[in-house]
Structure 1
Amino acid sequence: MNTVKIESEILGAVESLRGEAVDMLCELVGHASLLGEEASAQEVMARRFGELGLKVDHFEIDEEKIRQHPGYSPSLVSYQGRRNVVGIHHPAGRATGRSLILNGHIDVVPIGHPRLWSQSPFEPRVEGDRVYGRGAADMKAGIVAYTMAFKALRNLGYEPAAPVYLQSVIEEECTGNGALACLVAGYTADAALIPEPSGECVQTSQMGVMWLAIDVYGVPVHASRAQEGIAATTFAQYMVDELRALERRWNEPASRHPMYCNHAHPINFNLGKLSGGEWPSSVPTHCRADLRISYYPGKKVPDVKAEVESLLKAAHAKHPNAASVRYEVSYRGFQCEGLVIDMEEPAIATLIQCHQDLLNAEPGRYAMTATSDVKFFHLYGNIPSTCYGPSGQNIHGVDESVSIASMQRVAAVYALYIARWCGLNRLG
């Protein structure tokens, strides 16, 4: 097949689907697929995969099957009624190429306070080149991009000459157990790509991430004698401030992983939620601090826990009120390692070349200071994998949005990648 010809055909085929791509993205944004509420959005994905002629597999996560897996993270809510959806392509013609997983997460993070948004976060808005709404960038545009990539090839009269699995998974934003469940269910391939919103850059590495909670129990008294009590809220903030010494230490140049030497502030300990107190006229009995901490590739989860707990123990012991205040550390949500991606892997080098050939520029590369579902393919599936997706703004923030033109370019690159990595058969 003439490479220049297929490139030109792909660009045109993807552009012809622009209106459908925007409609699909708006439809998905309109489904508030928050944690535990993903069902309706997954019904959309099952329908879309079916319309592509894919065999559709939708299944609940069996937590008992994944609980002993090293990639498992403690769940936050029940998995009952919450499904992964996988569109399965097996070539009708002879299978001659290499297989591929295209993975995206359907879940979105909370919106924060709605009064901060320009309009309802789940009422999608199209303005110029951008679609606004929670999840537009992170990462429903990516799901649309790989769906349209597959459809563009079909519209040109081709099918991938190898198995391709389009995965729409739940719970990437807090555990990753959705993608893990796909791996445990037997979904594997020669490569995996995730269109997380990367600004059309190729991911080179990602952090390990851990969620932990510190529960503090103080000494309550009437507010009129507040000086005689010990407020759990104040003590919890003290413990968090002491923990930040570890954040500062890991950010020091001598402590950095080579992939993050030039990053302004790679390690972040985020106090995401602080809840405590019972009554305005009572010194607070209890306070819970929920944190997300990050750490470099190569660090193991048990070692990070030991370091964190040692620091908290020392902080508690040196406080003058230590004898009167009790604290506990617990772990739910992310408990995952970081990783480094080999850019010379054929699967990754092919992606870079597809971007360069189609868009006439070398793609940027970035060391991710968060985590993604790449970890399951890379660390546990022995599947070369990376993130490459469209340009988004205000991810996890207010008035989140994504560039339509960028989404279209990513779809075109993915279509060319399928053509080169999987090979193509003529349909009919």
Structure 2
Amino acid sequence: MNDISQVFSWIDNHREEVIDLLQRLVRVPSVNPWFLEEPGQRYEEQVQDLIAEELRFFGAVIDRWQPDPQDLSKYQGKPGYYPDHKFNGRPNQAGLIRGVGKGKSILLTGHVDVVKAGSDWSVDPFSAVRKDGKVIGRGVVDMKGGITAMISAIKAIYSVGFKNAGDICIGTVVDEEAGGMGTLAFVDRGYRADGCILTEPTDLTIAPLCRGILWGKLTIKGRSGHIELPQSDWRNGGAVDAIRLSRYFLDQFDVLNADWANRKTHPLLPMPCQVYVAQLNAGDYPTTFAGQAELVFNAQYLPAERDHNFLGGKVKKEIEDFITSVSQKDEWLIHNPPKVEWLIDADCAETPINHPFVETCKASLLQVTDKAVIEGIGSHTDMGWFVNVGIPTINFGPGKPSVAHQSDESLNEEDLIIATKVLAVIVMNWCGITKLSQ
């Protein structure tokens, strides 16, 4: 039996142990306090305790610390920095497993925080029940399944008598669901590697790219007036319907999207970048023209469009200039220009598909499955800062991204096992292994 077959056999024979670890992680309700009206107890630390207990099996050296916004203030204006975030009882953690040779190093990383459970669950969202070959619970996909797989992969390698030649670091961070300050603190701590895998859910595809995400709010000023009575021209004090102006901007966003559909594409992404209006808030009374309207929109951008701060400043200006141009075609809007407020700028990154690390990950995936799909992620992940400091990075993990944050979030047990095998093979191929007795 060859080296890989021994590892696969261990994983198959300890399938229940792998699933049990996932269940134990999910049963700690580590909801990011940003989602809670009364944060109460900080459960993220309990998840880190559980992970640390697992990592000690490999003799990992544990480093645990709480991110400090004051210490990170040098990153103001850059991705992941939020001066008002608090981290009391919410530590980051790194488990370093030193190699015994000259192999390349790897960082396996993920976030321990989850979004709140929400409603409409058929089971207790933190019970991690098993049903029809799946584990159901908040965070099974995003992303405690990935954390389980990376821990179990290293455990399998050690359990059959191998040790890594290159260093392995298992990093688990907080606060990803509220902006990524945990990852910023992790990179600031000085952790580096020759390759990095975020075990975010990718449905077992290799994702060396994620898009940047902008949330914006366009406020359009109108003038209220009785909706049932004749109105004079606005120059003479008549009403101006902000909802009508909203329709005008919605039509113009369609024009912009047609342009973006041709220009803002990427061969690894199934859809182009677009500006989508997600919320429309307008009006006060059924008898009054809306005096104001707000359009909250989502816009995506590509790594090639990042500004000097690794963010979407160039795309923000493009959208602002477009809105200004549109406004110049309406006399009311010329005198009453709409206002754009930026709510979120979640960064992006890309690792070239011909990079040796990506090629190693692809070859490793083919040692487990009969296909290796490489596809970018249309949303944001925390890969940006790792790429920014020179670490080739991919996203790879079990679970369909589309079920993250949903009620009855679930993960196929078989996908968890496959992901564990793939991560084990990547570590063996990239870091190298040797027999413990050697």
**TM-score, structure 2 length as denominator?**
0.82
The alignment covers a number of residue pairs equal to: 415
Tell me what 2:409 maps to.
400
Tell me what 1:385 maps to.
393
Tell me what 2:356 maps to.
346
Residue 307 of structure 1 and its aligned partner are, at CA, apart by 0.8
Q: Secondary structure at the match of 2:344?
A: coil
Change beyond 3 A, Cα 1:337–1:151 = closer
- Residue pair 2:200, 2:395 contacting (<8 A) in 1 also: yes
Find the aligned partners of 2:423 and 2:88 in 1 and give their Cα distance: 31
Change beyond 3 A, Cα 1:63–1:409 = farther
Find the aligned partners of 1:236 and 1:61 in 2 and give their Cα distance: 42
Tell me what 1:146 maps to.
150
Change beyond 3 A, Cα 1:292–1:365 = same
Tell me what 1:181 maps to.
185
Tell me what 1:243 maps to.
253
- Residue pair 2:73, 2:83 contacting (<8 A) in 1 also: no
Change beyond 3 A, Cα 1:12–1:287 = farther
2:52 equivalent to 1:45: no
Tell me what 1:308 maps to.
319
- Residue pair 2:135, 2:412 contacting (<8 A) in 1 also: yes
Letter in 2 for 1:7: I
- Residue pair 1:243, 1:308 contacting (<8 A) in 2 also: no
Tell me what 2:65 maps to.
58
Q: Secondary structure at the match of 1:334?
A: strand
Tell me what 2:235 maps to.
none
Change beyond 3 A, Cα 1:109–1:47 = closer
Once the two structures are superposed, residues 248-285 of structure 1 have per-residue CA deviations (whole angstroms, 9 ceiling, x without a partner) of 21113xx2445158x3x332333344455566676555
Q: Secondary structure at the match of 2:100?
A: coil
More off after superposition, 182-191 vs 294-303: 294-303
User: Highest Rg: 1 or 2?
Assistant: 2
Residue 179 of structure 1 and its aligned partner are, at CA, apart by 1.7
Once the two structures are superposed, residues 323-365 of structure 1 have per-residue CA deviations (whole angstroms, 9 ceiling, x without a partner) of 67553222233242443x3233222222222222233x23112
Q: Secondary structure at the match of 2:303?
A: coil
- Residue pair 1:192, 1:386 contacting (<8 A) in 2 also: yes
Tell me what 2:85 maps to.
78
2:31 equivalent to 1:33: yes
Tell me what 1:422 maps to.
431
Q: Which of 189, 200, 206 lines up with 2:204 in the alignment?
A: 200
Aligned-pair identity (%): 22
Change beyond 3 A, Cα 1:74–1:90 = closer
- Residue pair 1:73, 1:332 contacting (<8 A) in 2 also: no
Change beyond 3 A, Cα 1:226–1:61 = farther
Residue 225 of structure 1 and its aligned partner are, at CA, apart by 6.2
Change beyond 3 A, Cα 1:412–1:260 = closer
- Taking the TM superposition and a 5 Å limit, the aligned residue runs for 1:145-294 are 145-173=149-177, 175-221=179-225, 229-230=239-240, 235-236=245-246, 238-252=248-262, 255-259=263-267, 263=270, 265-275=271-281, 287-294=293-300
Letter in 2 for 1:310: D
Change beyond 3 A, Cα 1:325–1:124 = farther
Change beyond 3 A, Cα 1:42–1:5 = farther
Find the aligned partners of 1:195 and 1:154 in 2 and give their Cα distance: 20
**TM-score, structure 1 length as denominator?**
0.83
Tell me what 2:12 maps to.
15
- Residue pair 1:105, 1:170 contacting (<8 A) in 2 also: yes
Find the aligned partners of 2:435 and 2:149 in 1 and give their Cα distance: 22
- Taking the TM superposition and a 5 Å limit, the aligned residue runs for 1:333-372 are 333-339=344-350, 341-359=351-369, 361-372=370-381
Change beyond 3 A, Cα 1:15–1:260 = closer
Find the aligned partners of 1:108 and 1:289 in 2 and give their Cα distance: 28
Letter in 2 for 1:51: E
Letter in 1 for 2:421: A
Change beyond 3 A, Cα 1:52–1:260 = closer
More off after superposition, 68-77 vs 5-14: 68-77
- Residue pair 2:216, 2:342 contacting (<8 A) in 1 also: yes
Tell me what 1:126 maps to.
130
Once the two structures are superposed, residues 363-382 of structure 1 have per-residue CA deviations (whole angstroms, 9 ceiling, x without a partner) of 1121322232222222x111
Once the two structures are superposed, residues 40-92 of structure 1 have per-residue CA deviations (whole angstroms, 9 ceiling, x without a partner) of 1342133222332131413224265255367425649623437352232232x
Q: Which runs of 5+ in 2 are unaligned?
A: 232-237, 307-311
Q: Secondary structure at the match of 2:267?
A: helix
2:71 equivalent to 1:68: no
